[in-house]
Each structure stands twice: as C-alpha cells, then as structure tokens.
Structure 1
Amino acid sequence: MTSRLPHSSHWGAFTAEVHDGRLVGVLPRPGDPEPSPLLSGIADALHADVRVAAPAVRRGWLEQGPGATSERRGADDFVEVGWDRALDLVAAELDRVRREHGNPAIFGGSYGWASAGRFHHAKTQLARFLNLFGGCTDQKYNYSYAAASAILPHVVGTGGPTAGEVTSWDVIAEHTRLWVMFGGAPLKNAQVESGGITRHSAAHWLRAARDNGTRFVAVTPIRDDVAGFLDAAWLPVRPNTDTAVMLGLAHTLLVEDRYDRDFVARYCVGFDRFRRYLEGADDGRPKSAEWAAAIAGIDAGALRDLARRMVAERTMITSTWSLQRADHGEQPFWMTVVLAAMVGQIGLPGGGFGFAYGDTAGMGNRRYPFPAPALPAGVNPAGSTIPVARIADMLLHPGEPYDFDGERRRYPDIRLVYWAGGNPFHHHQDLNRLLRGWRRPETVVVHEPWWTATARHADIVLPATTTLERNDIGASSRDDAIVAMHQAVEPVGQARHDFDILAGLAGRLGFRDAFTEGRDEAAWLRHLYERSRRAAARNGAELPEFDEFWARGHADVPGTRSFVLFEAFRSDPAAHPLRTPSGRIEIFSATIEGFGYDDCPPHPTWLEPAEWLGAAQAARHPLHLISNQPRTRLHGQLDMGRVSRDSKVNGREPCRLNPSDAAARAIRDGDLIRLFNDRGACLAGAVLTDAVRPGVVELATGAWYDPREPGTVGALDLHGNPNVLTADHGTSRLGQGPSAHSALVQAERFDGDAPPVAVLRVTPVSDEGKTDGADGS
C-alpha cells in the first residue's frame, strides 16, 4: 500500500511517498519554482546504516564512572543498554552535577539547525527541560552572524537587518539599478530555510531584477558566489579585505565630494571623527582607492569607477553573513552601513543596505506580523551564557575572565555537556583544540539519530527520531504557508522523540507535569497552532482551524505589504528614531569607544586579520582557506545522502583551487590532496577551476569529521573537514564571533596510502548489558 503525506524540511516542503511503512520517495511541493535537489537525500538519511539503533553508553564511562577515561572519547566502543537504564543514568548525572556544582556547571548549548518542525525542535525542547530543572549555561547569538548581532545594535539600534528585516525582493526588483554584492548572493545557500520553505523564490527575484535593468557587481574571491545568469562584474578581492575595499570607495566619494552631505548631517552622528580616519589625518595613510586596491589585490581604477556609479543611480549595497565570520568581522558590517550612508539612499526604495540575501531561502521575504507556532522554552534561572563560538575557551579555561560587548565575564566550570539537535564537531573551529577541551567535562550526553562525530565523542547517546517519524508543524515567519508535517513512518530502531526522552527524565527528576503541561504530541500541536491562529486574527490575518489545517496539509498565510528598510526613519528621524544612544546612525560610537577595545575601534577601521594573504605567515601557508556552506548538504546534514555522496572526489570532500595554484604543486584535477597548517591536516579531492581566485582554496563545511586515529588530537582527518584547519578565536572582544574565514593553509598532492572514509559507515556497538526494558514515558 502506498500513501502520500504532507511534510516539510529545511530544504523545503514536500510530499512523503510511503510504501509498506518505508519511505520510498520525496516529491517537491507543487508550485515551488525551484525545489532543492537536496530533498532527494532525505530517504537516504532516514534509512542510513549510521542510525543510532538503541541507547548506548561509552564503555569506559559505564565501567569506571563519570570523568573516567575521558581521553577515550571518540575512540572507545559503546555498550547498548535499555531505555530504563539509560534514562536512570542521565537523570542521576543531572542530579549529581546540580547538587555538587550547581546548574551553571551544565552546558546545554545544543546549537544547530535541528528540525524544521517547531514543536519537536530539539534545542527548544532541551532548553525548556533544563530551564525547568533550574537552568544551565547556554549560548548567545549564533555561528552564522554572531559578530553582526553584536555590532549592529550599536550602529543602527537593532540586529534585525542581519536576521531578515531587510528591504523586500519586490522593491529591489522594481527600483534597484545597481546592486553591489560583497560576498555575492549564493543561491546554493538559498536552498535552505530554518522552519522550512514552500517556495524557493530567490532565483526568481534575481531574474526579475535583471530583467528590469538592475546591474550587478560581485565583490568576492569566488566568482560563482553570484548566479551566472546575472552576468555580474567580478571584483576578485583577497579574502577578508572587504572593509578596506569599502573604505576605498568611501574615500573616493569624500575626496571627489560625491557623498550625500545632507544625509550624513541629518541622519548620522560621528562622521567628522570617521572622516579624519579616511583622510589619514592621524596615521598618515589616506584610505584611498590605491591604498585599498593594494590590500585587496584589484584595480584602483575599478574602485573609483564603482564609487561614482553608486551615487549616480539607485544602489543597493549588501554583504553576506560570511564576511563577518572572520577576524574583526564586526568591521565589514559596520562599514556596509557607513558606505550606504555616504551614498545617501538608506530608506529609499531599492537603495541603502542589506545583509544575507541568498544566505537562506526566506531572506528578502516579508515576515508575517504574528508569531509562528513555537514551543515556549521559558527563562533560564541560572542566567549563565557564553558567546556561541567560545565553547573550547570555556572548557579549557574555567573561571578565567573574558570581555564580551562591554561586559567583563568569567567562564563557568562545566562538568556535564547535554547536546541535542546539533553537531559541534561540525560547527566549531579548530577541532583539535575542541577535542582537548571536550575531554574536561565528566559526562557528555547526546541525543542523535545518527552516529555523527559528536555522538562518537559522547558518553551516553540516546537515539532520537527524525522529522518523518513524528508529527509536527513546519513554519518560518519568512514563508507564505504553515505546513502540517504528518508522521510518515514508525520510529527506526529504538528511537524516541526528544519530547518523550525529556519527559521521561523530567518524571525521574520530579517535574514531568511542568514539562509536559499534561499534553502529548497531538495536544501540543493543536495548542501551538491555535495560539498562532489567535495571534494572526488580532493582526487581521485569518487562518483555518486546526482540524482543517491538518487535513489540508497546510495553511496559507495572507500576503504582506512591500517593505523598505528604515523608510520611516528617513521620512521623519525625530518621530521614528533608531534605538541608538543618539537616535541616529552611529558612524562613530561613543559607547564602543568607552569599552576601550583595541580590536574593535569606535568607527569602522581596517584591521589586518591575524591570517590573510598579506600576513607574514603566508610565506609558509600561502593559500587562504574559504570554508563556505556546501552545495550538497545543509552544514553536515545529509552528508550520507546521495547528493553529497555523488559530489565526493575519491570519497573525500571536493576542494576547489585555481589551476595556477594547482600547477605550482603538480596537482591535477581529481588528485587526492593534503591541506595542512599548524592546527591540523585533512585530505580532500582536488577540483580545478578558474572560478576561485589565485591564492584561495575552497573547502566547504560539513564533511563528517573522520580522524585516522579516532580520539587522537592532531590526527589526519580523512574526509575533508575544514575545521581541523580553521582558527578558534573571537572576531573581537565586542562580538566574540567565530573567525573561521581567517585561515591560511598549504596544499600538496597526497601520494601515500589513504585509509577509506569510515565515518559514514555504521559504528558497531557491543550488545553487552543490553535490555529491552521500556520506560513508558
């Protein structure tokens, strides 16, 4: 018997085709103009042989107790146990750590994309559980745009413009005539959206803008960061030099008296201080087009011509999230705003600035004016957080002080890590450093459907269901529909929902009723949907009742008006001030000046990254590594799927490099190569292309970490995970974001015997001590 059920994913809404209880097909949602090819990998992931079959405990931890043999994480084998025993062990550890060390000693970061479903969203489920348990140490901001989230409130009073509050696509398509894209607008990233998407429309809108006369300039080391059909002019800058390029553009506008004096005077503060820096009044270095071109490795005349064009026509200036995932990542986002202010078109249709177009599928869509269905997580009573990317610092340096956005803080002493719905051995930088820190906690608990690197480095692994094994609601506030996610198959192996796992633990710890509120899955879905439906009604939007929504498989969200970023502020800055100290755009920030950070001055500044092609280190490691988002996965998700598998070269992640760099190293297309620096080394498959600037190598993130000697610091990664190479330090003391894109490497042909990649194959577990006990939770 074959059935077809509505469902959704980060790659888009779809229909699940199920035959005799097994998923046999995934059909894109009708009406999606450009469905993601990644949908085809969902069935592969569901039935992959790397599924965690049953609760499993690392042998050393099980036999010798918490804190014992932690150096064996990643190398030890696992013992399968029954659910009752697994939950008893976890509950006892949570209780012990809370009693002996306090709730801040529990790290509940669980950072990751988790599920498109809003109820079974693992991070939210875990946060709700730990908050009711008394709290934990959590993470602030995210890896995608942490530095931007820190700097923009100081500049424009809100982080909204980097999280989706940007001028809408329809306005750009109608009014923008020149679009200057720092980092491009990579459509590969627009395949995905947290919460799902029913229409992949970014390519449609880019074509509409092109057809309406928009011209594009891509400022990026990688030519195909912008779609080929846009015929964009390419400025192949050195990585990490975007701030210098923008300063060169601004200097041209200044010295040629082309900048908008009236806009700067009325809507901004601090320009005079910034002007001194542009002119080189204090350091003797005017930030001219020639100065910028020398840093970026491009033509000065091209910069001057671009500056003149920007003020001659309606211009949109955008930057991708990737720019600020680098040393001093706050600076290019701040400078994007300042350059747009000098052009003078902020608040005008099709002009001004924006961030992250093309970075996710919904960017540029207008948010609907009511909250999407979401499980409430509550408030963390422990009040303990760290910047999202400072995990290894926290684990390696408990009690040590650090600076963060004007605050002086101390790292907590973590004794228990509880992770659900994420994979730090994918997201985090310098995995060898993380591995050293990961040995310090006494216990690591992980919920995971698959034997990812994080699961393999845990002490207790609890098998979690995937979205197709449960009912849920898919929703993104940047989409035009809410999707009913019907359960398609029974849970694989002994997998359980995160909600059921945590309810079982809450029962053992005495707060099950508070956690569940007396609702099961079906009751929660109805409750969350109806709460959103009532909120929609208060905002003039009508949604069907739950039963109709569930039967139909979706609820269409009424369309919303076009949007221009800061339109109201431009029309009347007194009536609609920004939430900055001055109420205006802060080109110079007295607040940041008061912090006294030498790595984040009080106005946009060119600060040399620790690693870039102009650094002394480039003599030994002369290639700049770009570890961007993959075309064939979402981060590390679906690496076992057919799209990702088919992209591998000799079973390794493809590494793109310029033919001139390859020739200098006797590397041919398809060769196995070794990338290395002082932090680590990995293998990859060479792909030669002139779309990558000379001096740059591109190795996408997401290949599952697979060290030749598991659990060993410094072991060669066999699969091509770039985070054995990336640097782990904060963008600055202000933002403390990740600096993954400031990394220099060397490459060489690998001629030795390379063991096969093992991480995507099943990890054997002993059945010693296995029971079939059911918990009934």
Structure 2
Amino acid sequence: MTEHRPHSSHYGAFHAAHHPGEDRLSLRPDPGDPEPSPLLRNLPAFSRARVDRPYVRRGWLTRGPGPDPERGRDAFVPVEWDEVVPLLARELDRVRTTHGNSAIFGGSYGWGSAGRFHHAQSQVHRFLNHLGGYTRSVNTYSLGASRNLLSHVVGDDRSIVEPTSYLVLAEHTELFVCFGGMPAKNSQVNAGGVSRHTAAGQLRAARARGARFVLVSPLRDDLADDLDAEWIAPLPGTDTALLLALAYVLLVERRYDAAFCATHVTGFDVFRDYVLGGADGVPKTPAWAAAVCGVPADRIAPLAREMAAHRTLVSLSWSLQRAHRGEQPIWAGIALAALLGQIGLPGGGFGHGYGATAGTGAGLLPYGLPTLPQGTNPVPDFIPVARIADLLLRPGESYEYDGQRLTYPDTRLVYWTGGNPFHHHQDLARLRRAFTRPDTVVVHEPFWTATARHADLVLPATTTLEREDLGAARQDPVLIAMHRVAEPRGQARDDYAIFADLAHELGVGEAFTEGRTARQWLAHLYEGWRADLPPEHRPTEDFDAFWRAGRVTLTGRRTRHTLYERFRADPKRHPLATPSGRIELYSATVASFGYDDCPGHPAWLPPPAPDPEFPLWLVANNPATRLHSQLDHGPHSAAAKVAGREPVRVHPEDAAALGLTEGEVVRLRSAVGSCLAAVVLSDALRPGVLQLATGAWFDPSAPEVATCVHGNPNALTADVGTSRLAQGCTGQHTRVAVERLTAPPPPVRAHQPPPIASR
C-alpha cells in the first residue's frame, strides 16, 4: 500500500503509506494543521513488541482458570484462532452461569484509537452487554475528582466539556492566572483526533494583545516560554492554601463582587466565615498560606488585587485534582472566581482543563457524531475507575462513594481491550498482586504491554493503521475517512472481528453484528448520523463520496459557553443544575455525607506529615513524547530516553547536594516502591521537586534492584482515593528519596516479548 492515504490519530490527521519491501511507513501531517504534533513520529513503531498471534499463559492452559501468583511471570504458549475462540467462549459462559454477570469486569479506557467504530471501549461493552452485562467503571483517571465535585458545585461538567473558547479568551482576557499551567505538550492530543492544533497560537495572540500570564506550578515549563509568564512555584499539592489566601485578601479588603455573591452564589457566609477563621480559628491569611505553600506572603496580596482589577481567568488544570484531597483546589478556585464576580463575562471566570487536551477551548459541535451503539447493561455494579485494585483484592467489602455505600463484586474474569492499567494505575506492585486474584484475565493488544503480560489469554489486535474507521471529535470541524494503510501483522484481527467470532460461538452473533461487516458498519453509522442531523449541518456527501474525498467538513461549532452567560444575565430564569440553582460555595448535600476528607465547603486539608526518609517531592505528570503509554517504543518516545530509561529531572541545587551527575541512572524510592531513571539537570523546577513523566512501560524484570527498572513513576505513587466523595486518582505527587546505584543497572526488557513456551 504505497499510495498515501488519509488517516487520523488522537494527535492529529495525516496521510500515510506503508512500503512493505522496506517495512517502512512514510507519513505527511495534514497540510492544514498549523502546528502538527511531533507525536506523529511515533507511528512507525514496527518492533519486536508486537503480539503476532493468539497466546495463552502456560499455567492457565495446563491448570485451568483460577487465581495464580505466576500471572505476570509465566511463559506464553502460541495457539490458533480456532482453538482460542471456543476456549474463551467456554470460560465466559462458565463465569456468567456460575457466578453471574457481575463477576465479569469489562475494562477499557477509550484511548485505543481515534476511530469511532473501532473504539475499543464501545466494542467490548457492546459485546458484554449482549452476554448479559458486566461490572463497569465510571469516571476517569484524568478527572476522577472533578466530575463528582462539579455536579454538586455548579450542577454538571459542562465547564469541562464546553468551556469558553480560546478565541474568546484571546480577545477579552487581560490576566491569565494558571494554577497547574496550560502545558503545550498536552494540547497535542484530543480524544477522537484533531485536524488543526490552534491552542498555542491563540495563547500567543492573547499575549500579543497585551494579556499577562501568571503560572502557578512547581514546574516552570507548564506554560510556554513565549508567553513571558510570571512564575510562582508553590510546593506540590498546596494550591488550595494559596487560593484561600487570595480569597482572604478579596474579602478583608472588600475587593470582592458582593452583588454577584448575593444573587448567584449560595453558601457565601459559610465560606467567608471559614476563610476569615471563624470556623476553625485560623484566618487564611497570606502569611498562613506562605508557611504552607512556600509562596512569599508579599506576593499573594498584590496578585489578589491585580485579579480584582482586571478581566481575569482563573485557570485550574486537571492535574490539580489528581492529588491528595483533589476536590479542594477545584472548589476553592471556583469560589475565588465567584468572589471576583466575573463568571459569565467574556474571558473571565474560571476554566477547568485549558491545556489538558487540544479540544479544550476549541469549541463544540452542537450535535453528536457517528457512534457504535453499546446496548444496555443490566448489571448495576460499578467502581470508580481508580479503584480497580481494590475491586480485585477486596471482594465483598464495602466502600463509600458520593454519598453511597457500595460493595465490591467478586470478580472472576477481567476482559480488557484498548487500555493499559499498568500505565494509569498507582502502586504497581499492589496492582500486580491484584491481577493474580481473578480466575481469568483476557486482553486484546497489538503490543506486549505490561497488561498483556499479566493476562491469561492475549488476542492480537490490529493497530489503527491496519483497519478502516471514522475519525472525529466534537471539538473538531472535520470527519475523517481513516483508510487502511498497512496489512495486519501476523494473525492480528480487529476487536470487532474477534468479538463477532466469540458472539457467534456463544449464540449471540446476529445480535452483535446485525449481519454487517466492519465496512458495512461504517457506511451504516455514517448514513444514519447524516440523516439525523439538522439540514443546515448535514453533509451533502453520501458515504461513498465521503470515503473517496477522505473527509467532510462539520459546521456549527460553538465558541462561546452560553451556560454561564445566561446564568449571569438571569439566574432565576437560567439556574444551574444545583439544588439552589446557584454556585454552591457551601453544599448542604456534600455536608450531609459527613466526610471528614471532603466537607461541605472548600477547605485546606493537609496531607499526612512528611516522612524524613523521603525528603523530595516527585511530580508524575503526562509525557511530552507520547500519549499516555501509547507507542512508548516509537522513535519519538525512544529518542527522549536517557541510557534507555525515562529521564527524571532534578534541580541543579538538589543534584549537587546529592552528588548526582547528568545522565546517571539512579533509584527513586517511595513508601510503596522504587524505580530506576536517568538524571537530567533542569532549573525549570522548584528546588526540592523532581519530575518524572508517566508512560514508560512497566518493567519489573529485576525486582531485587527496583519495582520498575524502566522509569514508571506509578511504581512509586500510592493507590489511595482523593476522598470518599469521588475516590479519584491521586497519582500526580508523591514523596521520594534518591539513591545512587552501587552496581551497573540491569537491562530494560519492557519492549521485548515475554518468554514463549511449547505445550
């Protein structure tokens, strides 16, 4: 397939051709993209890490289903498709008939492909629903705390889904105060794809107009250098204290918008009493905050005054809530914006997630996209997504979540497609133990990730380049025909073909496939979607014309977030979906839950006292060279590694105190585990803070040296929820020690296949 064909990815649209004789991919970014993502360079990832055929773990094949401590350590036996399909079908049938459908956990995180039909999450859920349902997960690792909190404070998550666009911010915002930053690296990606990367350009336009930027983060490069931002570097996880001190200044100096608070806010008196110290005897003064977060008190009050004097955006990154009591900085940030009284004004108020994805701030289409129907799941059981290890380790135990007391089902079979929990999850040694507990673990994967290595049945899945699909996102004005670029490797099949075979084996084939091939599904989804659109937004191209053209333009993308504009204009006619109809600085509902880890108003809830054994902070943020852990073995990701391992950035002052040198491989150790990483010196960090990106494939091949020898920071982070309100992920920060190695480091084996055995 040497002709360049249109395709799409989460990090951009492109045209590509595969040259079989050289086993080489040539790729051209979309010519209309002003700043194509360098992540496209990872796509030519042909490697030994590919799963070339079906495999069954040797212990499971010889001893049958059951908990097994060898899972993740055992060899795999190659089998044929005509053997593995009936084998897996029998196991699915055994579990659902013996233990009930709640004993099946359907795992998928949704980032497997930009395609809407070969969307792994939709495929596995549709299949399991046709078998009678499954235990599911809710929320995400990215926003585990925020979505629950926002439902109580502002009524829904539309401030995440449809924030004010960068176009409006670039024209109206005078002061951007960016808590957690707006990192350009994250704006390279978007679920479903992005045809034009525009976020960085819009921020530059705002700066050229005269807007000022203030970055609040322990990492200086959480905002682009060309924005000339002032850098305020608090200690990790202390943003809530700083936000409360800013609110204190507005209150005591009467710089807050009293009229807005009287008409658009509920709980103002409770929040004011807490900030001024009436509730706990501790006024949240700049001096108090300085002692907590390390920001000088004489910088806090002037910033509050400047915010009150200008059209100000309080920008709250997703990273803020991926930490201990992560609900609190988001709530405190909304409270600060409410005191400023600019919510609903163009370019003012608060934003949650600018810089998180390319789609955030790009606008939103007023209609849906072609989507594979998943059917109905009759099983009521669910878990917050970041509680997967608890689900497997604590069957039958109860836990609290958003005012409910729930029980973990007894999971016997885990079915995972399109995701890698050994990237997303924390305390990977504990997750390894958890994965030994089910009877059976099934994974569809193109590559030998750590999740595939911890499975019993590994089914080889095609990559996006090896199949056809529809690429689209509601934040993007283009629907792309994703043509197949290369033939499937080895015996790989797409998820739909695998599930169709299993469905036929289990007697639900016709219901699952509806008699359609994958190509027929694409035409069916496209034409059904097109017919349902309002006439003014309906493409004139039928499916065949669309497929030949390679794309159609989608019209009507909204650039203003009218929810808060209408609410500001008339809160009685356009109330929020909260019990009061207003912004809730005090939530009687949350207070009624009685959670000491999430009271009824924003509060500073200090983390446990630091252990002197772990004197340094580690920030474990998203990588710049890959999407999560995808294609970690790709050329762009590999080029950023040092000595074959993930780099850990260290401030020169800390490196000098520890005797560390550039490029040296060190061991990072926390209360839960350890990992190896290579030192890179950088003054773009607050002293006392290290930074190690997520996404290096977990490599536990030398446990006598480290939990992970490749540099996965989730070998270090603790598996605890943000609070009982949301049970979100807290993997952004942890405390660590750094140790020099006394022997040469072991080799990295993360990208090599596991041991292969004969029967």
TM-score band by shorter chain is: over 0.9
Give the 3 Å change call, closer, same or farther, for CA 632–587 of structure 1 in structure 2: same
Structure 1 residue 329 corresponds to structure 2 residue 322 = no
Distance in 2 of aligned mates of 1:330 and 1:375: 33
- Which runs of 5 or more residues in structure 2 are unaligned? none
Give the 3 Å change call, closer, same or farther, for CA 539–355 of structure 1 in structure 2: farther
Give the letter for the 1:283 counterpart.
Answer: D
Q: What aligned pairs does 1:213-224 form with structure 2 within 5 A after superposition? A: 213-224=210-221
Distance in 2 of aligned mates of 1:121 and 1:441: 25
Q: Secondary structure at the match of 1:432?
A: helix
Match of 2:651 in 1: 658
1:19 is displaced (CA, Å) by 2.6
Q: What aligned pairs does 1:517-532 form with structure 2 within 5 A after superposition? A: 517-532=514-529
Distance in 2 of aligned mates of 1:356 and 1:430: 26
Query: Structure 1, residues 182-240: CA drift from partner, whole Å, max 9, x if none?
Result: 00000001111111110011111111111111100000000000000000000011010
Give the letter for the 2:405 counterpart.
Answer: R
Q: What aligned pairs does 1:264-303 form with structure 2 within 5 A after superposition? A: 264-303=261-300
Match of 1:154 in 2: 152
Q: What aligned pairs does 1:237-256 form with structure 2 within 5 A after superposition? A: 237-256=234-253
Give the letter for the 1:74 counterpart.
Answer: G
Match of 2:5 in 1: 5
The number of residue pairs the alignment matches comes to 757
Query: Structure 1, residues 556-608: CA drift from partner, whole Å, max 9, x if none?
Result: 11243430351111111111110000001001000001111110000000001
Q: Secondary structure at the match of 2:592?
A: helix
Distance in 2 of aligned mates of 1:158 and 1:627: 28
Distance in 2 of aligned mates of 1:119 and 1:112: 12
Distance in 2 of aligned mates of 1:175 and 1:414: 52
Give the letter for the 1:27 counterpart.
Answer: R
Query: Structure 1, residues 652-699: CA drift from partner, whole Å, max 9, x if none?
Result: 100001111111110011111110022111100001111011111101
Match of 1:772 in 2: none
Match of 2:34 in 1: 33
Query: Structure 1, residues 376-397: CA drift from partner, whole Å, max 9, x if none?
Result: 1122111211001001111111
Indicate if the aligned counterparts of 2:616 and 2:737 stay in contact, CA closer than 8 A: yes
Give the letter for the 2:17 counterpart.
Answer: E
Match of 1:16 in 2: 16
Distance in 1 of aligned mates of 2:642 and 2:24: 28
Q: What aligned pairs does 1:133-532 form with structure 2 within 5 A after superposition? A: 133-162=131-160, 164-532=161-529
Query: Structure 1, residues 344-382: CA drift from partner, whole Å, max 9, x if none?
Result: 000000000011111111110111111111111122111
Match of 1:51 in 2: 50
Give the letter for the 2:375 counterpart.
Answer: G
Distance in 2 of aligned mates of 1:539 and 1:604: 45
Q: What aligned pairs does 1:55-70 form with structure 2 within 5 A after superposition? A: 55-67=54-66, 70=68
Indicate if the aligned counterparts of 2:629 and 2:697 stay in contact, CA closer than 8 A: yes
- Which runs of 5 or more residues in structure 1 are unaligned? 770-777
Q: Secondary structure at the match of 2:721?
A: coil
Query: Structure 1, residues 33-54: CA drift from partner, whole Å, max 9, x if none?
Result: 110111111012xx22110011
Match of 2:701 in 1: 708
Indicate if the aligned counterparts of 2:645 and 2:678 stay in contact, CA closer than 8 A: yes
Distance in 1 of aligned mates of 2:725 and 2:392: 21
Query: Structure 1, residues 493-516: CA drift from partner, whole Å, max 9, x if none?
Result: 000010000011101111011101
Distance in 1 of aligned mates of 2:239 and 2:445: 39
Distance in 1 of aligned mates of 2:347 and 2:710: 43
Distance in 1 of aligned mates of 2:610 and 2:141: 28
Q: Secondary structure at the match of 1:237?
A: coil
Match of 2:607 in 1: 609
Q: Secondary structure at the match of 1:747?
A: strand
Distance in 1 of aligned mates of 2:74 and 2:112: 26
Match of 1:774 in 2: none
Q: Secondary structure at the match of 2:552?
A: strand
Give the letter for the 1:184 counterpart.
Answer: G
1:541 is displaced (CA, Å) by 4.5
Give the 3 Å change call, closer, same or farther, for CA 655–493 of structure 1 in structure 2: same
Query: Structure 1, residues 715-772: CA drift from partner, whole Å, max 9, x if none?
Result: 5311000011001011000000011124111112223121110111233423x35xxx
1:26 is displaced (CA, Å) by 1.3
Distance in 1 of aligned mates of 2:531 and 2:411: 41
1:20 is displaced (CA, Å) by 4.2
Distance in 2 of aligned mates of 1:739 and 1:355: 17
Distance in 2 of aligned mates of 1:741 and 1:195: 25
Indicate if the aligned counterparts of 2:537 and 2:555 stay in contact, CA closer than 8 A: no
Q: Secondary structure at the match of 1:262?
A: helix
Structure 1 residue 633 corresponds to structure 2 residue 626 = yes
Give the 3 Å change call, closer, same or farther, for CA 207–722 of structure 1 in structure 2: same
Indicate if the aligned counterparts of 1:108 and 1:136 stay in contact, CA closer than 8 A: yes
1:425 is displaced (CA, Å) by 0.8
704, 718, 742: which one pairs with 1:751?
Answer: 742
65, 72, 75: which one pairs with 1:74?
Answer: 72
Q: Secondary structure at the match of 1:181?
A: strand
681, 691, 694: which one pairs with 1:698?
Answer: 691
Q: Secondary structure at the match of 1:655?
A: strand
Q: What aligned pairs does 1:581-600 form with structure 2 within 5 A after superposition? A: 581-600=579-598
Distance in 1 of aligned mates of 2:51 and 2:558: 46
1:23 is displaced (CA, Å) by 4.6
Distance in 2 of aligned mates of 1:309 and 1:118: 45
Distance in 2 of aligned mates of 1:573 and 1:544: 43
Indicate if the aligned counterparts of 2:694 and 2:712 stay in contact, CA closer than 8 A: yes
Give the 3 Å change call, closer, same or farther, for CA 620–20 of structure 1 in structure 2: closer
Distance in 2 of aligned mates of 1:477 and 1:112: 15
Q: Secondary structure at the match of 1:146?
A: coil
Provide the TM-score with structure 2 as the length reference.
0.98
Distance in 2 of aligned mates of 1:109 and 1:602: 33
1:538 is displaced (CA, Å) by 4.8
Q: Percent identity?
A: 56
Match of 1:773 in 2: none
Distance in 2 of aligned mates of 1:75 and 1:333: 41
Match of 2:530 in 1: 533
Match of 1:683 in 2: 676
Distance in 2 of aligned mates of 1:543 and 1:407: 49
Indicate if the aligned counterparts of 1:536 and 1:543 stay in contact, CA closer than 8 A: no
Match of 1:620 in 2: 613
665, 679, 685: which one pairs with 1:672?
Answer: 665
Structure 1 residue 544 corresponds to structure 2 residue 541 = yes
1:65 is displaced (CA, Å) by 0.6
Structure 1 stretch displaced more, 558-567 or 92-101: 558-567
Distance in 2 of aligned mates of 1:218 and 1:651: 32
Indicate if the aligned counterparts of 2:670 and 2:717 stay in contact, CA closer than 8 A: no
Q: Secondary structure at the match of 1:108?
A: strand
